[in-house]
Amino acid sequence: MTEVEPTDYTETLDALERRVHEARFTLQRRANAELIALYWHIGRTILEKERTSAWGAGVVTNLASELQTDFPTMRGLSRSNVLSMRAFAAAWPERNGIVRQPVGQLPWTHIVQLLEKLNEQALREWYAGKDVQHSWSRAELIHQIDTRLHERDDAAPSHFAAALERSDSDLAQELMRDPDTVGFLGVGAELTPD
């Protein structure tokens, strides 16, 4: 005797699959937010120590090395990345400035691009907002900065947000594959999309 599939089976399966994707994306966004807050805290601590204890570049090198030893599964603790954390905290000196603004929703690699490619804080914040609004990939963010989107924004409206579901957007996919986020969680490929 063969088992008959219920008439609402496909719809139920689709709904459950959507819920799994939503839960995974929510977890990744939360992990990313914690990672960004951690990186800001590391950068802020370095800035404070430089101001009060005369820390220099050698101390940052040692700090990065010790952190890498203590957390071997975490990518992102290299000297250059720790210096980027310092630049991040200098660019957004208030923690609320990252928690309540678009920059706090971006993957770390996007934030590094904002820091490296833009010198004006207002432009960094403008591109961070556009990045979140349109769910850009890192490559798209770089392209938009390099082609100076801020100067031509009204001439070229985007329909990405309307055309893509949030779970299928480039930003969502990038968060799922971001080695900094995965390493921060201390997990392997189990968060990688099917």
Mean pLDDT throughout 128-140? 95
The answer on pLDDT for 179 being more than 90 is no
In terms of pLDDT, which residue wins out, 174 or 118?
Answer: 118
Query: How far apart (Å, rounded) are the C-alpha atoms in residues 129 and 131?
Result: 5
List, for residues 12-51, the tens digit of each pLDDT value: 999 999 999 999 999 999 999 999 999 999 999 999 999 9
The answer on pLDDT for 187 being more than 90 is no
Q: Which pLDDT does position 24 carry in this prediction? A: 94
- Whether 74 and 184 have beta carbons less than 8 Å apart is answered as yes
List, for residues 137-159, the tens digit of each pLDDT value: 999 999 999 999 998 875 444 44
Smallest CA-to-CA distance from 49 within 82, 95, 97, 92 is with 82
Query: How far apart (Å, rounded) are the C-alpha atoms in residues 174 and 92?
Result: 23
Smallest CA-to-CA distance from 187 within 104, 29, 177, 79 is with 177
With cut-offs at 50, 70 and 90, classify the pLDDT of residue 177: low
Q: Which pLDDT does position 109 carry in this prediction? A: 96
Q: Which pLDDT does position 188 carry in this prediction? A: 57
Q: What residues have CB less than 8 Å from 36, skipping those under 6 apart?
A: 98, 103, 104, 106, 108, 111
**Structure token digits, residue 8:** 């609402």
Query: How far apart (Å, rounded) are the C-alpha atoms in residues 145 and 123?
Result: 9
The answer on pLDDT for 11 being more than 70 is yes
List, for residues 47-95, the tens digit of each pLDDT value: 999 999 888 778 999 999 999 999 999 999 999 999 999 999 999 998 8
With cut-offs at 50, 70 and 90, classify the pLDDT of residue 7: confident
Q: What is the pTM of this model?
A: 0.74
For 109, counting Cβ atoms within 10 Å of its Cβ (0-12 exposed, 13-18 middle, 19+ buried), the class is middle
Residue 88 Cα to chain centre, angstroms: 13
